Structure 1
Amino acid sequence: MTILGDLLSTIFERRYRTAAPDRRDNRPMEDLVSSLVGTAGDVTGLAAASTLLQRFQEMEDSDKLQFFRHLAHDMNIDPAGVRTALDAYEASPNRKTYTAFMAAVEPKRQELIRRLNQIPGATEQLVRMRADLLRLGGADPELQALDQDFRHLFISWFNRGFLVLRPISWESPAHILEKIIAYEAVHEITSWEDLRSRLAPGDRRCFAFFHPSMPDEPLIFVEVALTADIPGSIQDLLAGDREPITATTARTAVFYSISNCQEGLARISFGNSLIKQVAADLSAELPGLKTFVTLSPIPGLTKWLSAEGIAFQDADPKLLRTLAAYYLLSARRQDGQPVDPVARFHLGNGALVHAVHAEADTSAKGRAQSAGVMVNYLYDLGKVAQNHDRYAAAGEIAASSDIRSLDAAAKKLDLREAEAAQQA
């Protein structure tokens, strides 16, 4: 951790005295909201904020939904006021009219969220509040608009400048290790011994981003294997009887699991910064590392193949690799983006589709989501910016010659008859 990171943690981890929730304050939540937004006094405001946050935590889902609808409808912008303020600014653009326009276009609920965040520990509570909003809001347009206000503020509060990168090791505090087990979303950690095998050996690393106001809650973490070559099987990579290598002899860093931890921070991007920061730190620690790759799942493959009517259940390894390459490079959504969510993430970061491997994940989950196929995304640190720009501007996917050959072979087949053609 950097000196600046230590300083930020020290500052934000301080616990200041504040007014406790007033259990005698039985006003409706709507009145508490109005009081908090309308108050000018710090003590009164902090007491109202504490009470509101405590009451929200104790609510049933139906009451939480009613609270969200109040914020969405009654604390929204006033369209007529916005038009009036815009007309005034257009007629005379100056500081006064611009300030009035900015005040008009910002809904009062944004100020409410800011004032709630004045309470020590409130950031974590607000993240959980947004998780409830995402869970309960569904497709309600007004609640989706409310979520945009949460997301707008969270993007600022959780920007890279505030995040602290911490290594996670077998010696890390138990409560942090428990959360790594709970939050692992790619390859389940089945026991403490399983966790130990991922953290304790000298050729294994784990890193997590933390926010100084949530020092005990990882936001996202990545598990890394240091290897001699690029792996093609998660079973081999995580085998309990494997022989560890000396970290200084490793030539490849494999990002084999990236897990977002906080549902309330959905669509707040951390992964790009995490991978690049970890790659830079590992390069400084181990100059012998030359290659940075992932060993990633392809979570949408079997669903897409089934929807397209493409037979794959009894396909041989070569055909599975062909289908996977076609899916990653050529299967697109209506907006032109790749169908696969993991592909969108890594390609958006500037990675290259390097190789696909059959029988790479033989777990029940791996077979269900991708017929056991996995993919290596290569992070060439000298080309990620160029790859990102081409992908962002024209949807151009960087891929190895092997992947392109497999994709081209797939296009020559009638994929719905691909299994028969392969067997013939």
Structure 2
Amino acid sequence: MNEYIHKNYKKAARIQTAVCGFLFSIFSFIYLYVFQCDVLEALHFSLAHGKTHFAPLPSAIIITLILLLLRWGVNSLLGLKGEVRALSYFPSCLILGVLTDVGRTVYMSDYHTSWGWLLPLILLIYFLVTFWLRRVFRVQLNVESSPMTLMNSNLIILLVFIIMTILIGNSNRTFHRELEAEHYLRNHQYNEVLKIGQHSTEASRTLTVLRSIAMSHAGTLGEKLFEYPQYYKTDGLFFANDSSSVLRYTNDSIYYLLGVRPYNGEDRMEFLHNICYKGTGKSTSLDYFLSALLLEKRLDTFATAITDFCESDEEFARYYKEAILIYKDSHPDYQIQITDSAMIQRYTDYKIRRKESGPLVQGSNLMRREFGDTYWWYFDYQN
């Protein structure tokens, strides 16, 4: 009878080992390949200085296999068994979390984290404490518990370690969106950049600039700019000067896109005005200039620039036409005519609804639901 119970216990132990190994493998692969792929790619770029190509699928598989081997080695060294066998996953889960605990300073030349000394210290404490506890509770570890208790105990331990991994890793949604947008931008997938956070009202300055660069490359700044939140005015076209708040792309990327660099201390609006009127910038500089004027709500200058650089019968981009409709309300004799009947009707509806919507703060939310993707809403309600 005892021999039968012993065989069942050993069988349950093997099943428990296989189940925990399978669950950890699935978690590790999905965590690395799906949820932390961009963070892992950023870490790879930083460590390799951009000299090697990052392959997400092989990287996720190889790291998972290494962590499984590490778990096997830890268990062989410590001899954990029974209801606490899953404690051997602690180093693997900890390292998995540390690998994905990457912040905005990852691309800085002196990038380092406290994990450089903290990880070895935690692992040393883990091995010493676990080895000591194994000696203290040697008799208890040799007791053969029921298969259900064996399975549940180890699954709970593994679940706790998985939660620990998730808490350690970078789960900042804004940071992930910026990394993903940067990845697509580097691969010239401009439409994919614009799909990131497409329906969200949240947008960091870095993500806003990355979107603007993608639109400029695709030639759709005038068509798509105000489909996305614009909280930063002209700053949303240029990165911050603080290198720790941006990623691999910097303002040098934008100056290359425009074809000219500004003088030291030159105002951005003045810089864009000069390269357009002097003809020193690339063709992309005009859309940047016109978009900057719209973002700053400088419609008088915008209306002048349109007549200076465009033919009056030219087919303008969507947001240029929307801005012209606003301008013509106060300047009915303005020479450029908008003939888009659908847009004119929608603008008429917008003005009617604006009067009906009530106070500015309350009306902003009501109007945004229907007209939040228009320049009209931005001009009237965005601070």
TM-score after normalising by structure 1: 0.25
Which one has the bigger helix percentage? 2
* Pair member with larger Rg: 2
The structure carrying a bigger strand percent of its residues is: 1
